[in-house]
Amino acid sequence: MECINFDRYEQNGKRINPFQYIAEIRNEDCARAVALLVPKMQMHDAAIHALIDEVPVLTSVQRNFLHRILSLRLHESLVPVYEQITKGEDGHVH
């Protein structure tokens, strides 16, 4: 059993990159979470970005950063993992 501390992104006492961990698809619960989360993020993408735009205390630099990082995390990290999970040979989440 793997011991993961997501407060500090550690696994068995060693620091890990959370997106690398997700991309490795070694944890079935994590894979299921990605399989559930990505379609919802894609479906509500415009609403998520609109919410960022509505936060009055954010500067334009902060808004731009949040828009960019959310888009990058979704399209560069999570979507490729989602596609790998959903296109598995057996049709099951790995």
* Length of the chain counted residue by residue: 94
Residue 94 lies in a domain: no
Residue 7 lies in a domain: no
Residue 91 lies in a domain: no
Residue 61 lies in a domain: yes
Cα dihedral 84→85→86→88 (10° resolution)? 80
Beta carbons within 10 angstroms of residue 7's beta carbon = 6
Tell me the three state secondary structure of residue 12. coil
pTM for this predicted structure? 0.74
User: Structural domain of residue 49, as residue ranges?
Assistant: 27-86
Q: How many domains does the chain have?
A: 1
Sheet containing 10-11, strands listed edge to edge, beginning at the edge strand earlier in sequence = 4-5, 10-11, 14-15
Q: Using one digit for the tens of pLDDT, what is the confidence trace for 2-53? A: 555 555 666 777 787 888 888 888 889 989 999 999 999 999 999 999 999 9
Tokens of 25: 């698809």
